[in-house]
Structures are given as C-alpha cells and as structure tokens.
Chains A and B, each alone.
Chain A
Amino acid sequence: MSLLEKLEAAQRSQDVLKALGVNAIGATIDVAGSATEGEIAGNRVVLAGTNNYLGLTFDQACVDAAVDAVRSHGTGTTGSRLANGTYACHAALEDELNAFLGARSSIVFTTGYVANVGTISTLAGPGDVIVLDADSHASIYEGAKLSGAEVYRFRHNDPDDLAKRLRRLGERASRTLVIVEGLYSMLGDVSPLKKICEVKDRYGAYLLLDDAHSFGTMGTNGRGLAEAQGCEDDVDFITGTFSKSLGSVGGYCASRKHDINPLRAQIRAYMFTASSTPSVIASTRAALQLIGQRPELRTRLWQNAKRVHSALSSLGFSLGADASPVIATIMDSPQQAANAWQMLLDAGVYVNLVVPPGAPKNMSILRCSLSAAHTPDQINQIISAYALVADHLMARPKAVAGGSI
C-alpha cells in the first residue's frame, strides 16, 4: 500500500458514515448565538451535545474578561510556555487552580488533549508500567503509547480487575501509573474512584485521574469526582480541560501530593507548542471564579440532567448509565442511530452521533450533554424530540414520557 492509498482507505470509512444518509460527523454549527442555541443548516437548534455543562461560553463576565485581555495583551503569545509564551496571566491561572483544587502545583497546557499526552508520556517512561481503564480517552492511549512504558488495560470501572493486574506486576507495581477518568464522556458513567484509590494504595502504585467531564460538574464545590467521592488526597495527579465546564479551551495537570514543576522542562507538548492566547486564559480565570461563586449552576445542571434521564427512561430508551450530565441512548444499529440523529435535528435538537469504531463495545449511541443554561422550555423541546424518535423508530416505545413534557 502506498503512502496515499491509506488516505483512500480512510475516505472509504468516512463514506460508510455518509451512506447512513446524515452529515453527523463534523456537522457545522453556522451560528452559535448562545450557550444553548445555534444554527445548523439554516435551522435554529437547541445545542444538547456541546459539553457546555455550566453554560459559561456567553457569560458576560467571561466575555468581558476575554475582550479586555485581547485589547490589552494582543491576539496571541506567539511562543511556547518555556520561551516567550508565559505571561503573568498564565502563572496567575496556575495559582488560582492551586487554590481552587488545594494543589501543591499545577501546569497549564494549550488543550486538554495536550495535557494528557504531555503529562502521561513524561511521567512514565521505558521500564515503567501504565495500567489504564479500557474505556480511556484517545489522548490517554496516545500518551501511554508515546511514553515507552509497558501498557496494560483493565476492564472498565472494575477495581477487582485492576487489583489482579497490579498483583501480577509484583514489585513493579511501585513503578506503575494507573489511569482512570472521572465521568466517562461517551456513556456518562462514573468511575468507582474511591475503590480504585484503595487498590492502587494497596499495591503502592500511582494514580492519574482525567477529570475532564467531572471538573465543575461534580463535588460540592465543583472540584470534581475526587471531591464527590471524598478521596482528593489519594489521587496523585489530576488532568483536565478548560473546554467543558470552563467554556474555553486549554488543559491542566495538578497535584495535591507532588511538586510537578520539574515536568515543565521535560514535557515536549509544553515546551514545543504555543501557549494559550491571553483572551482564552482571561475567560478561563473568570469562569473558574464563577464555579466557586455560583454553586446553583451545578444544581441546575443536575436538575436538567435528571429530568431528561427520567423522561428518556420512561420513553423506553436503553440508557448508558445513571443520570449524569452526559446521557447516552443506546440504539440498535448505526443506521437506526443515524436516522434518530437526523430526526432529532429536524425537530430542532442537536446531539452527538457516535457509531463504531468511535463508541465503546461497538455500540451506536446518541450522546446528549446537558447544560445549566438549558431553560425548562429547551428541556421540554429535547424530551419532545426524543419522544418523536421513540414513536417512529423504536420497536416498543412506552407511551408517556413520565409526565415531564
């Protein structure tokens, strides 16, 4: 196979998706007029697949902070963190993350993906071992591969299987980095983190938690899954993103237990890529303040999530997990999922279509993510649209959506 024949093969796999009759992958949002409404192919839609959990992308304080920063500090840093790309605002954000998370040290990266790849590939190296949850994000797999460490998977959310793997490693367990996520983004299920911590402590391993989808959404103060399960001091490293609850783009690694500053001069994804623009850092800092100041955002998010979860369950959908800000409906086939996705879009609701090989266990799912900014009317519209799908596409739909419409 020549170099470019691989591109043709890749195109053929995309054509399979096109043959499903929908343009779901990379659907263009022409206008995003608010945190929860946009325009796709000329139609106004409720955005219910954007991970905008706290709805802060259009928050006035965040927008003002970004505008002020771009006027004061320009459009970009034109350099990496280790060269000319660390401004006072980057350092201030790291201090504020430390204060928020109770961390000894934090490092800010340009994206969440880069935070994972950079941190994981540097923390572990040849001779070390990585044991990761099988349903981990691509950035975790990529970082593990790049590290040169020996890599093992353990069964998704299964602390007993993790224990087996660590036992088999013997003394090498002390050179092992265990990696899990908080809230898993495809099915919306949550890691049994406290049990995972107990297991890794029993064998003397280290734990990295990717809290991308639970930062801001879980825990009394929004500090994520470790706060929610009361095990913050047992997690060695936390990575996360600014592109979900914080409504911008960027990533971080933080640690309550260890000084991670020495990594700055070793992580290539930190040293050799441009740093975040000051406007991005400014809106992120403003959003971080709001997470602390406005717990009602989390309350509203969970109310919306529970309402949609309960209604979809009553409609007869097979759901990926208990109620959480991510609600996955598991469909019978890629074609049925594609038809349902188009039907939802036609009814004015945008969600994510995930079909094999993108979904766990070869499932075809519709992935709905809720926001604190969704109004009661928008939640009604989301539920009504799913009711249409249940009526038209599912074999044995239940008639009533739990009285929620």
Chain B
Amino acid sequence: MTTYNECVVQIQQMLQSAVAKGEVVGEDVDLIEELGLASLDVMELIEQLEDVFDISFPINELGDVRTISDLARRVQQLTDR
C-alpha cells in the first residue's frame, strides 16, 4: 500500500525541474498560482503519476487539485482502491 508521504515525495521529485537545484516544492504551494504551472503541465504531471502508481485520475476532479497535498491525498486514495 502506498502512503501519503510516498506520494508527496514522488510528486516533489517530478516537480524538481520547476525549481532550483536543491529546492523542494512545499506541500501547500499552489501548483498554478504560485509555482506557475500551466493547466497542461498539471495534466502531464498527473499522467506521469498514473503510470507510476497504475491508477486513473478522474478529470472531473482536476478542479479540486491546487497543491501537492491535494494531489497526494487523492493519488493515495486511488492506489487504495
């Protein structure tokens, strides 16, 4: 079973290219408003997570994802199914 923390770490690794070397994106940073990702970037991030965790993320729920924390919580639930 995948834990919430494992999901957070995985997402932070995937977002490494969006920040300076050595920096880590905080769990509560807004992916679009603060980190500056385009909605298409968020979609690509989710596609990578789907492959890594063998899950499918409903696009109806995209609007609820603002931070790494939001995303990690939902990914963790989906791996639990």
Contact = CB atoms under 8 A, between A and B. Distances in A.
Interface of A: 134, 145, 150-153, 155, 164-165, 168-169, 357, 361-362
Interface in B40-66: 40, 43, 47, 54-60
A168 B54 contact: yes
B60 A145 contact: yes
Q: Please provide the 9 A-B residue pairs with the shortest distance between their CB atoms, ordered closest to farther.
A: A152-B56, A150-B58, A151-B59, A168-B56, A165-B56, A151-B60, A153-B59, A362-B40, A151-B58
A152 B47 contact: no
B35 interface: no
Given A134-B43, A164-B54, A164-B56, 19 more contacts: A150-B58, A150-B60, A151-B58, A151-B60, A152-B56, A152-B57, A152-B58, A152-B59, A153-B43, A153-B59, A155-B47, A165-B56, A168-B54, A168-B55, A168-B56, A357-B40, A361-B40, A362-B38, A362-B40
Nearest to A153: B59
B58 to A, nearest CB: 5
Interface of B: 38, 40, 43, 47, 54-60
Contacts of B54: 164, 168
A153 B38 CA distance: 18
Contacts of B57: 152
A140 to B, nearest CB: 12
A152 B43 CA distance: 11
A151 B57 CA distance: 9
A178 to B, nearest CB: 13
18 contacts: A134-B43, A145-B60, A150-B58, A150-B60, A151-B59, A152-B56, A152-B57, A152-B58, A152-B59, A153-B43, A164-B56, A165-B56, A168-B54, A168-B55, A168-B56, A357-B40, A362-B38, A362-B40
Contacts of A134: 43
Contacts of B56: 152, 164-165, 168-169
Contacts of B38: 362
Nearest to A361: B40
A134 B44 CA distance: 11
A153 B59 CA distance: 7
A166 to B, nearest CB: 9
Contacts of B58: 150-152
Contacts of A151: 58-60
Nearest to A362: B40
Nearest to B55: A168
A133 B38 CA distance: 20
A362 B42 CA distance: 13
B37 to A, nearest CB: 12
A168 B40 CA distance: 24
Contacts of A169: 56
A150 B59 CA distance: 8
Nearest to A149: B60
Task: Identify the interface centre among A134, A153, A164: most chain B CB within 10 Å of its CB.
Answer: A153
A352 to B, nearest CB: 21
B46 to A, nearest CB: 9
Nearest to B44: A361
A224 to B, nearest CB: 27
